Chains A and B, each alone.
Chain A
Amino acid sequence: MTEAGYNFAYLDEATKRMIRRAILKAVAIPGHQIPFGAREMPLPYGWGTGGIQVTASILGPQDVLKVIDQGADDTTNAVSIRRFFTRVAGIATTDATGEASIIQTRHRIPEKPLTENQILVYQVPQPEPLFKLEPHRAETRRIHALADYGLMHVRLYEDIARLGHIAKAYDYPVMVNERYLMSPSPIPAFDNPKMHQMAALQLFGAGREKRIYAVPPYTPVRSLDFEDHPFRPIRAPHACAICGSRTSYLDELITNDAGGRAFICSDTDYCQERQEAPKAAAE
C-alpha cells in the first residue's frame, strides 16, 4: 500500500508531465542537458533527488526497482531511497540486477550487462562536465552549443604532460554520439566503457542543478583520450576476496592497523551470484 496523502510515486501529475517532457527531449538530443523545474524532495539535495525525480516519473506498478549506491544494495542511502519508493509507490524491489526493470544508481554501473528491457537511472551531483574549467553556466551553455571542447582536451593534455597519463579516475568525461561532451556522473572510469552501445536506456537526473540528460540505447559513448594516450579503465589489480573475480571493480578494505587489506567486489549482487553459481552447478 502506498503512503496516504501522497500521489503515486510522490510527485504530482503536473510535475511528472514536466519531467517526462524533459526526458523525451533528453533522449532525442543524446548527451544534452535539459533544464527542468526540479522540485524539493523529502530527501536532501545531493542525495539523489535528481535520480529520484526521474525514477518517480517513469515508474509504474509493473516495474521492479533496484537501487544501488557504490554498487551495493545495502548501503544506507540506497536502502533509504528504496524504502522511499516502497512507501510512496508500493512497487516491488529486488537486489538482483537481472530481475530489475529500473535500476537507480549512484557511482556505479552493474557488472552484469544490462538488457533492452531495463532502464538505468543515474544520480548526478554535477551534470556540467566543464564545471571545473568554467564555472559560469552561461558560458558552458555556449561551449556546448558550439561543441567547442578544446578546453577539456587542453585540461586532459596537461595531465599527460605533467604525469604521463590522464589522471582523471572518476567522472571521466565522454563524448556522446560524437556531439555532446557529457559527465557520466561520478562512476569510476572503469565503468565508462559499459556506457558505449549499452542495450538499456540510460537516464541522468541532477536535482540540485536542475538538469536531465540521457543516452539512448545503442549509442556511441567515447571516453575522451588521445591517439598516443588511449583511455585506460582503472581497477585494483587483485581478485575479489569473496568470489575471486579478477574482472570486476573492487572495493579496498582495511582489515587491521598493520597494513592488512582485502579487496572485494563493489557490485554486491554480482559477487553474490558468483558465490551461488558453483553451488548451483554442484546441485
Chain B
Amino acid sequence: MTQMTPGFADRVLDAQASFRAILEAMSRPGRVQCIEARLSPPAPLCTAAAAALLALADADTPLWHDAGEAAADWLRFHCGAPITGIIKDARFVLACGAAPSLDAPDIGTDEDPQLGATLILQVAGLVAGEGWRLTGPGIQHEHRLRVLGAPADFVAAWARNQALFPRGVDVLLCAGDNIAALPRSVMMAEG
C-alpha cells in the first residue's frame, strides 16, 4: 500500500485561497486563475481539480468521478464526499478522461436551478486571450479562452446547456494549477 499524500497544508487558509480563485474564475468566465496551494494528489488528479474538491466537496455533496481508485481513496479521505456511480445523483462530477455529456448530470429545475451540478473537467491546458469568444455576465466586452484538449464539439454542447438557463451545469476547467470557469450563464462562440 502506498502512502497517502496530504491534503491542504493549512485546511482553513488554503481552502479560503482556493475558493477565492474559483470565485474569481466563476465571476470572470474565461479568465485563468492560479491555485496557489501546494498539493501532490495521486494521478490523474491535477492540483487545481484537487484543490477545488478539497475546498468545496464534503459529506453533503456526492461525487461522481472517473479518476480511479487511488484518487477516489484520496478524495474520500480528505473531503469525506460520498462517491456515487450514478452521475445524476452527484453534486460534483470530476472527469479526468473523456468528459460526460453536459446533460448527463443533474441540471436542476426551474424553481431550483442551483441543484444543477458542477463539472470539474481536467484538460491539457488553458490559454487566455485566444480561442473561444465568451460573452455574458462577468465579461465586460469579450473574454477569449483556448482550452487544450477540450471535449469534441464542446461549443455546440455548451450552446445546448446555455439554452437550458436557468437550469444547466457549471464547469470548472482545470489544468495543472490553472483554473477557469464556465458558469451556465456564459455564451460561447468558436474563436
When A and B assemble into the complex, do they touch directly, with CB atoms less than 8 Å apart?
yes
Q: Which residues of A contact B56 (CB under 8 A)?
A: 17, 20-21, 24
Q: Does A16 contact B (CB under 8 A)?
A: yes
**Of the candidates B17, B114, B184, which one forms a contact with A34 in the assembled complex, judged by CB atoms under 8 Å apart?**
B114
What sequence of 0s and 1s flags, for each residue 7-23 of chain A, a beta carbon within 8 Å of any chain B beta carbon? Answer: 11000011011101111
Q: Which residues of B contact A14 (CB under 8 A)?
A: 58, 60
Q: Which of B23-31, B39-47, B63-71 makes up part of the contact surface?
A: B23-31
4 new A-B contacts at CB < 8 Å, known A27-B183, A177-B136, A216-B28: A20-B19, A20-B23, A32-B114, A201-B27
Asked if A25 contacts B111 (CB within 8 A), the reply is: no
Q: Which residues of A contact B184 (CB under 8 A)?
A: 28-29
A-B contact count (CB 8 A): 108
Q: Does A254 contact B (CB under 8 A)?
A: no
Q: Does B152 contact A (CB under 8 A)?
A: no
Q: Does A262 contact B (CB under 8 A)?
A: no
Asked if A145 contacts B170 (CB within 8 A), the reply is: no
Q: Which residues of B contact A27 (CB under 8 A)?
A: 23, 26-27, 138, 183
Asked if B27 contacts A216 (CB within 8 A), the reply is: yes
Alpha-carbon distance between A59 and B57 when the two chains are bound, in angstroms: 19
Alpha-carbon distance between A23 and B12 when the two chains are bound, in angstroms: 18
Q: Does A48 contact B (CB under 8 A)?
A: no
Q: Does B113 contact A (CB under 8 A)?
A: yes
Alpha-carbon distance between A57 and B16 when the two chains are bound, in angstroms: 8
Q: Which of under 10, 10 to 19, 20 to 34, or 35 or more describes the interface residues of A?
A: 35 or more
Asked if A60 contacts B110 (CB within 8 A), the reply is: no
Alpha-carbon distance between A197 and B138 when the two chains are bound, in angstroms: 9
Chain A CB count within 10 A is highest, among B22, B27, B58, B110, for B27
Asked if A216 contacts B22 (CB within 8 A), the reply is: no
Q: Does B189 contact A (CB under 8 A)?
A: no
Q: Does A229 contact B (CB under 8 A)?
A: no
Q: Does B188 contact A (CB under 8 A)?
A: no
Q: Does A141 contact B (CB under 8 A)?
A: yes
Q: Does A86 contact B (CB under 8 A)?
A: no
Asked if B183 contacts A218 (CB within 8 A), the reply is: no
Q: Does A87 contact B (CB under 8 A)?
A: no
In the complex, what's the smallest C-beta–C-beta distance from A39 to chain B, in angstroms?
Answer: 14
Asked if A29 contacts B185 (CB within 8 A), the reply is: yes
Q: Does A146 contact B (CB under 8 A)?
A: yes
Alpha-carbon distance between A40 and B16 when the two chains are bound, in angstroms: 21
